[in-house]
Amino acid sequence: MLARAQKAAQYVRMSTDMQKHSIENQAAAIALYAAQNGLEIVRTYEDVGKSGLRIKGRSGLKQLISDVVSGSVNFSKILVYDVSRWGRFQDNDESAHYEFLCRSSGVQVEYCAEQFTNDGSVAAALLKNVKRAMAGEFSRDLSAKVFTGQSRTVRAGFRIGSTPGFGLKRVLVDEAKNRIADLAFGQQKSLRGQHTILSLGNPNEVKLIHYVYDLFLDDGKSLNEIARVLNSAGSVSASGYPWYWYSVRELLANEKYMGNSVYNRSSRKLGGRYQKNPKSEWVRGLAAFDAVVSPERFAEAQERLRTNIVRHTSSFMLDVLTAIWCSHGELKIDYVLDFEGAPAINSYRARFGSLTLAFDLIGYKGRKNRLNNLEIRREMRRKIMSGVPERGGSTSVDWKFHPRINSEFTVSVGVGRTKSSSPVGSNEWQFGYRSNKKPDFYIIARVDKIGTTIRDYFVIPYIFLPHGAWLTVSGKNYSRLNAFRMETLDPFLDLCARDALDEPQSVA
C-alpha cells in the first residue's frame, strides 16, 4: 500500500465562462501528472459550473479546505490543473490564503499544467503571483466583454432579460426582427442569431395599464389608491399577488411600456453585490418594441412621479411606524406597504439600514426572525434555481413563486426553528407551512432560533405533511422523519440531475 506521501486528492472546477476546461480534460491531465510522479489519486473534489471569483458557493473547494485543516485526510498533495482552476480571485492574497491553509496543514498544492514547480522557491512564487493576477484580469476582461456585447444587443433593439412584465410577452425573433415564436415562461432562445423582443400581451392587461394611467394622470389618484381600486376589482399583478403601490409604479415608471429596451439599471459585477445604477449609466434601445402607452403619456407620468417625491424626516418615518403598530397591534411589511402616505420600504432601508433597524428604534422587536427566515428562503431558492441547471436539469418558477424542476414537479421552501427561547435550544422544532399552497415537495431548513446557520434540511413530499399549518419535529417522530433528512441540498439536487438528451427543448 502506498504511503500517505504518495497519495493525492484532485480538485477540478469547470466554470461557465471556460467550458474548454472540462472536468474530463482536467482529470486526464491530472492523472497523467500523477502517473509521472508516482502518485495515487485517492479522492476527488469538484465544483461544476462555478465561478472562480469567490469561494462562496464553491462547496467542493470549501469541503477540501475544511477536510485538510481538520487533519483528517489521508493524502499529502492536492493536484489542480492550473492556477486559474484554483480560482480567479480578484485579490491575489485570497488565493494565496487558501493555499497557505493547506500547506500549513501539511498538504501541498501542485499545479499540473503550469510550467513551474510549486516548490516555494522565489521563482515559483513570482510566476504564481503573475498567474494569479492574469487569472483575475481574465475575469475582469471577460466581464467587460460580456457587458459590451449585451449593451450592443440592447442598442440594436433586442431584449436582455427573462420576465416580460404585466401586459407584455416575449417573442423570439431573428436578426431582422422577423417573428419566430412566442416564448412561454421559462423558455429561452436556443440558436445563435436569435433574439427576444417584447410585444403586447394579454389584451385585458394592456387595457388595464391604460386604465392605470387614466387614474393616475386624469383622476389624480395616488399609487395606493390605484392599488386599492385594482384589488377591489379582483385584479392581480404580474406576480399573481395583490397590487401594491410599488407594482402600480412599475407600470408608470418602466420605460419598456413606452417601447424602450433598457439594460444596466442594476448590476452585479465580479461576484459583488447588486447595486442600482444611475440613469446616466443605463443602456437603451429606443423605440425597440411596440409601445403600450405613447412617449408623451409616459413622460407626463414621470413628471407627476417626480413632483410626488417627498423628503421625509426621520422623526416622521418613525412616527408612521408607531401609528401602524398602534393601529394593528403589530408590525408587518404588508401593513407598511398598505398605509396611505407611508414612506417607501427602500426609503427606510436607505435611512436606517433596514426595516428591522427602524422597528428597533421604536421599540418593536418582533421582526428579526422573520427577516432572517426570508433571507434563508431566498438563498435556498437560489441554490435550487442554480444547482439543478448545473446538473443538466431545468428550472422555472410557477405563478406562486415555487421553483419548478425539469417541468415535472414543484418545491416550496421554509424554515423551522427550535421552540425553546433559551440560547441552548431544545429537541423540539416547528415548521410552519400553509396548507393552501400545494407544491409537490416541501424543503425545510432547520435553523437555531438565535442564529441563521442552517443545521440540516428535510425534503418532505407534501402529501406526507399533516393537514394544518404546523409540523413539529421532536424525539417522538424524529426517527420517522429522519429518512427525509439531508445535511445539505446536494443530494436533492443530484436527484434532479438530467442527461443533456433528457432536457426539455426550448423553442427554436
Domain membership of residue 349 (yes or no) is yes
Contacts with 12 (C-beta within 8 Å, 6 or more apart), sequence order: 23, 26, 27, 30, 44, 45, 46, 47, 80, 81, 85
- Kindly state whether residues 114 and 238 are assigned to the same domain: no
Domain membership of residue 66 (yes or no) is yes
Indicate the pLDDT class of residue 425, thresholds 50, 70 and 90: very low
Q: Which residues pair with 412 in a beta bridge?
A: 442
- Kindly state whether residues 235 and 290 are assigned to the same domain: yes
Sheet holding 195-200, edge to edge: 179-183, 168-173, 195-200
Cα–Cα distance measured from residue 381 to residue 136, given in angstroms and rounded to the nearest whole number: 29
Give me the number of domains the chain comprises: 4
- Kindly state whether residues 392 and 492 are assigned to the same domain: yes
Angle at 197 between CA 254 and CA 265, to 5 degrees: 35
Q: Which of 340, 301, 333, 109 is nearest to 212 (CA)?
A: 301
Domain membership of residue 161 (yes or no) is no
| pLDDT in the model for residue 352 | 86
| pLDDT in the model for residue 327 | 87
Residue 268: helix, strand or coil by DSSP?
A: coil
Indicate the pLDDT class of residue 501, thresholds 50, 70 and 90: very low
Indicate the pLDDT class of residue 500, thresholds 50, 70 and 90: very low
| pLDDT in the model for residue 423 | 38
- Kindly state whether residues 63 and 109 are assigned to the same domain: yes
Q: Which residues pair with 443 in a beta bridge?
A: 413, 459
Find the Cα–Cα–Cα–Cα dihedral 431, 432, 436, 441, rounded to 10°: -20
What is the pTM for the complete model shown?
Answer: 0.48
- Kindly state whether residues 26 and 109 are assigned to the same domain: yes
Domain membership of residue 155 (yes or no) is no
DSSP 385-396: HHHHHHTT--EE
Indicate the pLDDT class of residue 477, thresholds 50, 70 and 90: low
- Kindly state whether residues 174 and 297 are assigned to the same domain: yes
What are phi and psi for residue 184, nearest 5 degrees? Answer: -80, 170
Burial zone of 429 (CB within 10 Å; 0-12 exposed, 13-18 middle, 19+ buried):
buried
**Total length of the chain:** 508
Cα–Cα distance measured from residue 445 to residue 489, given in angstroms and rounded to the nearest whole number: 10
Which of 27-31, 45-49, 475-479, 499-503 has the highest average model confidence (pLDDT)?
27-31
CATH, residue 438: 3.40.1350
Region 403-425: mean pLDDT is 71
Residues 171, 189 contacting (CB under 8 angstroms): no
Q: Which cell numbers in the block locate residue 10? A: 484532485
Sign of CA dihedral 342, 346, 349, 352: negative
**Of 307, 323, 342, which marks where a domain is finished?**
307
Domain membership of residue 163 (yes or no) is no
Q: Is the pLDDT of residue 419 over 90?
A: no
Q: Is the pLDDT of residue 492 over 70?
A: yes
Report the chain's mean pLDDT, rounded to a whole number: 79
| pLDDT in the model for residue 241 | 78
- Kindly state whether residues 350 and 382 are assigned to the same domain: no
Contacts with 228 (C-beta within 8 Å, 6 or more apart), sequence order: none
Q: Which residues pair with 171 in a beta bridge?
A: 182, 197
**Of 141, 157, 181, which marks where a domain is finished?**
141
Higher pLDDT, 395 or 117: 395
- Kindly state whether residues 25 and 124 are assigned to the same domain: yes
Region 158-178: mean pLDDT is 86
- Kindly state whether residues 380 and 352 are assigned to the same domain: no
Residues 15, 49 contacting (CB under 8 angstroms): yes
- Kindly state whether residues 277 and 216 are assigned to the same domain: yes
Cα–Cα distance measured from residue 233 to residue 118, given in angstroms and rounded to the nearest whole number: 70
| pLDDT in the model for residue 72 | 84
Region 146-174: mean pLDDT is 83
Higher pLDDT, 504 or 210: 210
Q: pLDDT exceeding 70 applies to what percent of the chain?
A: 74
Residues 42, 73 contacting (CB under 8 angstroms): no
- Kindly state whether residues 204 and 325 are assigned to the same domain: no
CATH, residue 176: 3.90.1750.20
- Kindly state whether residues 276 and 354 are assigned to the same domain: no
Amino acid type, 308: N
Region 404-423: mean pLDDT is 73
Domain membership of residue 153 (yes or no) is no
Domain limits for position 209: 168-307
DSSP 213-226: HIIIIIS---HHHH
What pLDDT digit, counting tens, does each position of 189-217 carry?
A: 667 778 888 999 999 999 999 999 999 99
Domain membership of residue 159 (yes or no) is no
Residues 169, 199 contacting (CB under 8 angstroms): yes
Residue 377: helix, strand or coil by DSSP?
A: helix
How many other C-beta atoms lie within 10 A of the C-beta of residue 379?
Answer: 14
β 40-48/7-14 pair status: parallel
Domain membership of residue 149 (yes or no) is no
CATH, residue 12: 3.40.50.1390
Contacts with 291 (C-beta within 8 Å, 6 or more apart), sequence order: 257, 258, 259, 298
**Of 141, 158, 186, which marks where a domain is finished?**
141
